[in-house]
Amino acid sequence: MIKAGVYVHLPFCLKKCTYCDFLSHPPKKGEIAAYLDALEIEIERFKVEGLTLFIGGGTPSVVPPALLVELIHKLQQTYGPFLEASIEINPATVDRDYLQALLFSGINRLSIGVQSFDDSTLQLMGRLHNSREAKEVIYLAREVGFKNINIDLIYGYPGTDIISIEKTLKTAVALPVDHISYYGLQLEPGSELFRKNLLQIADEEFVEMYYLGLEILEANGFFQYEVSNFAKENKECNHNLIYWHNKEYLGLGAGAVSRLGRRRFKNISSTDLYITNLKNNSRIIADSEKLTADLLLKENIMLGLRLKKGLNPKQLGDRSLEELYPTETAFLLKEGLLEKVGPNIRLTKKALPIMNTVISRFF
């Protein structure tokens, strides 16, 4: 049986944050229950041995706890036991009972959307919680018994500055968390922020904020293992490592992507159609592509270079990047944008903030 990471998409949020274009919306009456019924049908369609589970969204914690626990049990019975079972939560949507129900159901990793510990930034972002509430949920999660907690932070939001980011980072590292995702703001065309057309943070300041993150996080025991991800020892996210190693995963739910065998396929994004089609026993796959050897090689380069340990020739069919792309590799090594570490090759610190431009040299 195929061994795979399992991702489940729950496309609900109480309110859209200004920067976000993830597939999510405020649930209509009865929609959550109908969606979970549909998910159960989709779950039955696949047989894989689940290595990790990641319940994401949207905001999974918008789902009433009894329904969520039922879903988790179904996933465990069908694909489990999981080595790691994560769920994304929003601080505005959980209390002690909710966290306890998650822990008892077998969830062993929480990913909390915090974004900032600066109240005025949180307000600009349209978040439903303030900094104090986010901190309270983190302490509560630890108290309840979670031993693996991630928080998401965003830098580079218009109207913020290096001082507010420093405050957020220093607050974050002093909290009982094991992993920090430190994302640079992506200006998403479908977001409210994009429509507002505000003056964006200057490139140099954006880069300065990224380097400040590296410095504060690493100085406090959060080791970088991916461009935007930092973990205490042995607390890397195993589920996301499956993506970065280009291994197999099953994606369930509206808009979810799977990479199984030699194919990558994506479910329809419309929640209504997802529910109706599953009820009617029809197809829910919107796109599917064959993963040719050439495409896999390119993806391995793109994903492998995101990792701190870099790309190993094993990921390239036992050939080195220099053999495969001699001109591009030589140029990037000379420019100090790539470096060799034993048999591996990786992005230098200088290249990290301009990763996409560097990687695009290979395509």
Ligand X SMILES: C[S@@+](CC[C@H](N)C(=O)[O-])C[C@H]1O[C@@H](n2cnc3c(N)ncnc32)[C@H](O)[C@@H]1O
Which residues here bind ligand X, judged by CB under 6 A?
13, 19-20, 22, 56-57, 59, 88, 90, 113, 115, 152, 154, 183, 185-186, 188
> 3-state DSSP call for residue 182?
strand
Residue with tokens 């100085």: 219
Eight-state DSSP code of residue 27: P
Stretch that binds ligand SF4, among 9-17, 79-87, 206-214, 352-360 (CB under 6 A): 9-17
Phi, psi of 219 (to 5 degrees): -65, -20
User: Could you say whether residue 229 binds ligand SF4 (CB under 6 A)?
Assistant: no
C-beta closer to ligand X: residue 209 or 345? 209
C-beta closer to ligand X: residue 54 or 79? 54
Which option in ligand X, ligand SF4, none does residue 188 bind, with CB closer than 5 to 8 A by kind? ligand X
The H or E element spanning position 127 is none
The angle subtended at Cα 165 by Cα 159 and Cα 167, nearest 5°, is 125
CA distance 337 to 58: 35
Which option in ligand X, ligand SF4, none does residue 152 bind, with CB closer than 5 to 8 A by kind? ligand X
- Long-range contacts formed by 117-120: CB under 8 A, 24+ apart: 117/167, 117/168, 117/171, 117/172, 118/160, 118/164, 118/167, 118/168, 120/164
Which option in ligand X, ligand SF4, none does residue 226 bind, with CB closer than 5 to 8 A by kind? none
CB of 78 to ligand X, least distance (A): 23
**Residue 169: exposure state from Cβ atoms within 10 A (0-12, 13-18, ≥19):** buried
Give the per-residue contact string, 35-64, with ligand SF4 (x = CB under 6 A; - = no).
----------------------xxx-----
- Neighbour count for residue 248 (Cβ, 10 Å): 16
C-beta closer to ligand X: residue 230 or 316? 230
**How many residues sit in the footprint of ligand SF4 (CB under 6 A)?**
11
Among 4, 7, 24, 249, binds ligand SF4 (CB under 6 A): 24
CB of 56 to ligand X, least distance (A): 6
User: Could you say whether residue 17 binds ligand SF4 (CB under 6 A)?
Assistant: yes
- Terminal CA-CA length for the chain: 34
CA distance 185 to 155: 6
Which option in ligand SF4, ligand X, none does residue 56 bind, with CB closer than 5 to 8 A by kind? ligand X
C-beta closer to ligand SF4: residue 136 or 152? 152
Based on DSSP, count helices (H) and strands (E) in the chain, helices before strands.
14, 14
CA distance 350 to 336: 7
CB of 292 to ligand SF4, least distance (A): 33
CB of 96 to ligand SF4, least distance (A): 21
Stretch that binds ligand SF4, among 10-18, 70-78, 292-300, 331-339 (CB under 6 A): 10-18
Measured on CA atoms in the order 337, 222, 10, 19, is the torsion positive or negative?
Answer: negative
Name residues contacting ligand SF4, limited to 58-97 (CB under 6 A).
58-59, 90
Can you give the binding site for ligand SF4, defined by CB under 6 A? 13, 16-17, 20, 22, 24, 57-59, 90, 113
